[in-house]
Amino acid sequence: MRQLQRSILWTGRAGVCAVLALSTGCHHKASVPVAATPPPPTVPTPRTLPQAVAHTPVVPRLPPPPDDVQGKPISTEVGLASWYGPYQNRRAADGSVYDGNGMTAAHRTLPMGTTVRVTNLTTNQSVMVRITDRGPFVQGRTLDLSLAAAKAIGLYKMGVAKVKVEAFAKPGADPEGRWCVQIGAFVDQSDAISFKNDLLNRYKTAKVIEFSGPTGHWVRINPLKPDLPTANKIAESIHLPDADPYVVRTN
């Protein structure tokens, strides 16, 4: 009986030792290297091509009027515009010195100082300019732009282009205006003087002057009554083969 108890006791101790041996053996067991699994190769994501979009012409925004211009244009006309030639440092009709880098223009009938938006109908580019001079004195032309203004709307290299001229109201402008008739240009000054003397006999109540401009010599008739109907009547009565009369606003 005692031998059986000893046998059981020994067996239990042996089992405990075996368990302890297994548990303590984990700390001394050499680690087995495990081969690292490489990540899957990166597959480039295909670029998504943009869907076809219907072509829409880009129309540039028109420049806003200056601070002293309010509301919508009071007049709009379409015609041919050109730009000044060698006119730098000459006096403009408003008394200012022409500067090719300024945003200015010449027009025959708009009030002096009027702000105008000019749009090149070929390029759709626009620029804001002020009327500081009179002209152009070429049949079929509506506007002469400064060098900088012509470049701003792509007209510089074109030379001449069809434009839209939108004039904004000028505060304090004379609604009736003062008008004259300008005739020329005469290449020879003596021809201009001779023509002026002939006009003096016909328009005794008018002041007839002769002066030189960048394109030649001109003769101007300032009627005693400087309104538009009188100026138009005088212009219609003048018929010259080599010189054209232009009705021009002086203020």
**Cβ-based burial of 24 (10 A; exposed 0-12, middle 13-18, buried ≥19):** exposed
Specify the DSSP class assigned to residue 18: H
The string of pLDDT tens digits covering residues 159-189 is 999 999 999 988 888 989 999 999 877 888 8
Mean pLDDT of all residues in 233-242: 84
User: Does pLDDT of 78 surpass 90?
Assistant: yes
The amino acid at 222: N
User: Does pLDDT of 33 surpass 60?
Assistant: no
Mean pLDDT of all residues in 85-100: 82
d(CA 112, CA 173): 8
Name the average pLDDT for the chain: 78
| Helix or strand (DSSP H, E) at 21 | helix 2-25
Helix, strand or coil for residue 80?
A: strand
Mean pLDDT of all residues in 21-40: 46
Q: Specify the pLDDT at position 200.
A: 87
Q: Specify the pLDDT at position 57.
A: 43
In contact, 125 and 152? CB cutoff 8 Å: yes
Beta bridge partners of 172: none
Where are the chain's structural domains? 75-167, 179-249
pTM: 0.70
Q: Specify the pLDDT at position 70.
A: 66
pLDDT over 90 percentage in the chain: 42
Higher model confidence: residue 97 or residue 128? 128
User: Does pLDDT of 34 surpass 80?
Assistant: no
d(CA 123, CA 93): 30
Longest dimension (CA), the chain: 169
70-74, 169-173, 212-216: lowest mean pLDDT where? 212-216
* CA torsion through residues 211, 181, 223, 221, sign: positive
Under CATH, what is the fold of the domain 75-167?
Barwin-like endoglucanases (2.40.40)
Determine whether domain 179-249 maps to CATH 2.60.34.
no
Higher model confidence: residue 26 or residue 208? 208
Q: Specify the pLDDT at position 67.
A: 56
User: Does pLDDT of 62 surpass 50?
Assistant: no
* CA torsion through residues 158, 161, 164, 168, sign: positive
pLDDT over 70 percentage in the chain: 71
In contact, 83 and 127? CB cutoff 8 Å: no
In the sheet with 244-249, reading across from the earlier edge strand, the strands are 207-213, 216-222, 179-186, 244-249
List, as own/partner pairs, every contact residues 225-228 make where C-beta atoms lie below 8 angstroms and the sequence separation is at least 24, other chains included. 226/178, 226/179, 226/180, 226/250, 227/176, 227/177, 227/178, 227/179, 228/176, 228/177, 228/179
Residues in the chain: 251
Q: Specify the pLDDT at position 190.
A: 87
Output the CA–CA distances (angstroms, integers) from residue 186 to 173, 189, 210, in the order listed.
Answer: 32, 7, 10
Mean pLDDT of all residues in 103-119: 96
33-47, 74-88, 113-127, 156-170: lowest mean pLDDT where? 33-47
Helix, strand or coil for residue 191?
A: helix
Q: Specify the pLDDT at position 68.
A: 59
The string of pLDDT tens digits covering residues 135-153 is 998 889 999 999 999 999 9
Q: Specify the pLDDT at position 71.
A: 78
Mean pLDDT of all residues in 56-85: 71
Q: Specify the pLDDT at position 189.
A: 86
Closest CA to 168 of 136, 121, 131, 120: 131
The amino acid at 28: H
Same fold, 75-167 and 179-249: no
